[in-house]
Structures are given as C-alpha cells and as structure tokens.
Amino acid sequence: MIVADDLGYSDLGCFGSEIATPNINALALQGQIFTNFYTAATCSPSRAMLLSGTDNHIAGLGNMAENVSYYPEQVGKPGYEGFLNNRVVCVAQLMKDAGYHTYISGKWHLGLTKEQSPSAKGFERCFALLDAAANHFAPDRSQSQFWEDGSFAQFPPGKYSTDFYTDKSIEFIEKDRVDNRPFFLYAAYTAPHWPLQAPTDFIEKYKGVYDIGYDSLRTFRFESLKEKGIVLGDVQLPPLPRVKGSLYNISNQPLLAWSSLSKSEQKIESRKMEIYAGMIENLDQNIGRLIQYLKVIGEYENTLFVFLSDNGPDVFELNETPNPSNPYPYMGTANSFIAYGPQWAHASSAVNSYYKGYSAEGGIHSPMIIKMPFQNEGRGIVKTFTTIMDLAPTFLDVAGATYPPTNNGKSLAKYKGSSLLPFLEKKKSDVHKDDYVMGWELFGRCAIRKGKWKIRKMEPPFGKAVFELFDIDKDPTESYDLSSQYPAKYKEMLIAWKTYVKENGVILKD
C-alpha cells in the first residue's frame, strides 16, 4: 500500500501530468485507474479511515489532533481523541493475526506516544514519522518525532526522506524473507508534502518547464484529463476564485494571475513547481526501486499493489530561506522551507474545485491505482465509486481474514467500507450501490455523496455557507448548484446529512 502525501489529482502521468512517473504509469497500465476514489480532506483523518475501514469521526480523528484545541466543544469527546481509539482496530493488527509480517515506513500521524505508536497498532517493524511533516533532508531541524520498532528514534543524517523510507521498506522485507511468510507493507511516503525539497538533479530536470505559469498549467492538465477520457469532453473549466484560500479559513488575499507577476516573481514561482515536480519524479523512481526489488526476489507477480494520495494538493504558501532578498539559490535545499500555494494547487487539482482542507472535490477526490497479483492486462479507467474506507476490508479479504466484533474485550465499530476484491476479480460490477452514503466534515466544511449526487457546504466566497447540490457525474467541477431545480433530491440529501452526523458522532462548531 503506497501512499503519497498531498499529491494532486492531476500530478501523475497517467492522470494527465507532464511529470515523469513511468513506474506508477506501468502499474496503472497493467492494473486499473480508479477515477472516482475518495479520501478525507486532510492527512490524519484519511489515514484513520484507511487503517480502520470506518469514518474518521468514529476512529478518533474527527479533527486533526493539532487542531482540536481550537474547537472547545470537541475536546475530550469520543471520536476526537487525536489517535486511533479503542472503537477500531488497525488493519495491520488483523493482518498480523492472519500470519502476515506487517511493516510501515514513512508517515504515521495517528498518535505521538508509545501506546499510540505503530508498534502498538500491529506493525511488527516500523520506521515512522509520528508528526504531520518534517524537513526531508534534516528532520531534526523541524524537531519532528520518529519511531523505530519499539522506541523513539533519530532520522539518519544525510538521507533524503523518500530514498530512506524505500531503503527501510526493502530492509524489512529482506530480513524476514527466509521464513516465506506473506507481508503487508504500508509505504507511507511524505512527498510531495511541504517543505518542498528534492535532490538537485531531480529539480533541474524541470528547469524552465513551468515558465508557462500556473494558469496555463491548469488548462493543460484539464485538457490532458479530457484526452485520457478521465473527464468528459463537454465539461468546461470554471474560472478561478478572486481570492486565495487557506487550510483552515479564507485568506482574503487576491489570487493573482500569472501575467500580473514581475519576471523575478515568476522565476521564484516557477522554481516552486520545479521542486514539487522533482519530488514526485523522485517518488516514482523510489517506487520503481521497490518494484525492481520485488522482481529480483520473485515476489512482484504475487503482490497486490495499491497507490493513492491521502488528500488533495496543499494550499499552504511559504517562501522561507536564509536570504529572503535572494531566495532562489536556496530553494529546495535543506536550508529552505517552501510551500507552493493556492495558484499551483489549483493546477494540481485541475478538474477538481479547490484543494486540501475543503469538502469540495479538490480536497477529497484522489487518484488511485490498483494492480492485482499476476495481472498483466490492465482494465484501463474504472469509474465505480470507491472510498479509502474500502481498503482495509479489501486487505482482510485478500488475506482470508475476518473483522472481529470485539478487540481486547471491547466492541468494535463496524466497517463502513466494502471489500474491492469481488469487483477486482470481476465477480461484481460495482463496489457500492447508488444508495450508499459517504459523508465528510472537517473544520466545519461538510459534504454528503450518494450515487451521483453531492451536497457541499463551505464558507463564502468559495461556498454559500449553506448546502449546495451538485450532479458530480455531469458537473465534476461543482459549478452548478441544483438545489432549487431538484428540491426533493436536495431534501433527501439534507436528511442523509443529519443521519450521518448522528451515526458518526460529528460535533459541529458552535
């Protein structure tokens, strides 16, 4: 299970990107591309859903742990613990119980103590970043916490995060290979999450590529998605908002057109995207290393691969270097702290509206690729609705394991996801029926999806502060509010929202 951090919907070559991702593309060619796959709007809620198979409000991450203190009504309440709680059991524990070796290499973000660590949740071997983010070259500078097997650890100096996490993944598999037991690997990479940093040779490959600017890149990516059949030909790219958003609120700063920037400003902005692209190509190269290792040991064909992003691209914007008056030479190095901001995030989202932190499609609509064992003939584009909660039950199904009603004497919440295996084996034509409901709530931004219909509530100017109704099949850009045109459907969806709040213990801000 390979997870990229804050990767945008159009950032892969097989999803229309100009970024070189040949190894991920090869998995897609041999497997299938899921174009209707949904996550939560930010990192830790998605990871809670991924590992628990249920809603993040049930699993303990109803809000990000670092943000609960800003919502007094949520502090100390069930579902808002900030770590995987005892209402769920991590899929790693169940895979371990089924006879699998279980490994995590990369980002955890689901608890900071020994009792909340990957080791306590079923991972037999681990090297994990416990925090949300870290410097990719020198994590000690960001005071990030790491966990190795049963104790706190230090990140080795001189290593680049994506390279090192791949090293550890291979090390874990190699060490246990002698016993011939199956393994479950969670390769939870931290790229391309800020700070934007990459080895220089990867950055330089993209020098000049983004001089076209973020406006033109967004158009190019959108048209590429159409050419690949991922977006219908009659869908139109909507105009951008007038102001920038931020993760938690609206910044009210103007969203500047590329043409309004000076040449020096354009140079700095282009460099941000060059670094971001370099991080993604480096990630792809490391996935290639992992694939090649599995081929060498004879396990590639016998391995199920799942690739996804945990949410949409990040809107965060920062340009911090040792020399603010001349930042360019430092950008992308261990001495810089760069985040590319909403303009480039809009381009990464392309067809999707907005970005990480929002209940709009740009926050929750992710690329996913699955390659089955011994599958060499791909199925191309798969448009059936799937969710990040489907993966845990899928892994159990593959392992021949079952989900227990209790764990350590405590009743467990039921899975809200469904196994993808019958669909992947062509025994079923879909994963969820049209009456299946998925809900979202984070930072007061809310949504419900049922079949092709979606209601979404966000604050102005990106929303109307009330629920709007969209037909996502026909209007993936969420441009046309149909609430007045279909009042009965709108009422039905509002009822579904109230049911979701009650069933999942959602606590809305007063």
DSSP assignment of 378-434: --EEE-S-EEGGGHHHHHHHHHT----SEETTEE-PPP-S--SHHHHTTS-S-SS-T
How far is the C-alpha of 401 from the C-alpha of 406, rounded, in Å?
15
Cβ-based neighbour number of residue 399 at 10 Å: 18
Q: Is 373:399 a contact under the CB 8 Å cutoff? A: no
Bond from prior residue into 313 cis (ω within 30 degrees of 0):
no
The distance from CA 458 to its chain's CA centroid, rounded to whole angstroms, is 20
Structure letter (DSSP) for residue 155? P
Q: In angstroms, rounded to a whole number, what is the distance separating the alpha carbons of residues 5 and 395?
A: 21
Going from the C-alpha of 63 to that of each of 56, 222, 271, 438, 474, the distances in angstroms are 8, 32, 33, 17, 31
Alpha helices in 297-410 (DSSP H): 341-349, 361-364, 391-399
Q: Could you say which of 14, 43, 90, 446 is catalytic?
A: 43
Confirm if 224 and 10 have CB atoms less than 8 A apart.
Answer: yes
Nearest partner of 38 among 364, 448, 351, judged by Cα: 364
- Which residues, in sequence order, are bridge partners of residue 491? none
Q: Has 43 been annotated as catalytic?
A: yes
Q: Which of 85, 87, 3, 82 is nearest to 37 (CA)?
A: 3
Residue ranges with strand state E in 108-241: 125-129, 146-148, 151-153, 183-188
Q: How far apart are CA 202 and CA 299, in angstroms?
A: 29
Is 446 noted as a catalytic residue in this protein?
Answer: no
Name the strand (E) or helix (H) holding 439: strand 437-442
Q: Which of 57, 101, 109, 432 is catalytic?
A: 109
Q: Which of 436, 440, 441, 466 lies closest to 453, judged by CA?
A: 436
Q: Parallel, antiparallel, or unpaired for β 183-188 and 2-4?
A: parallel
β-sheet with 445-450: strand ranges across: 437-442, 445-450, 453-457, 468-471
Task: List residues with catalytic annotation.
Answer: 43, 109
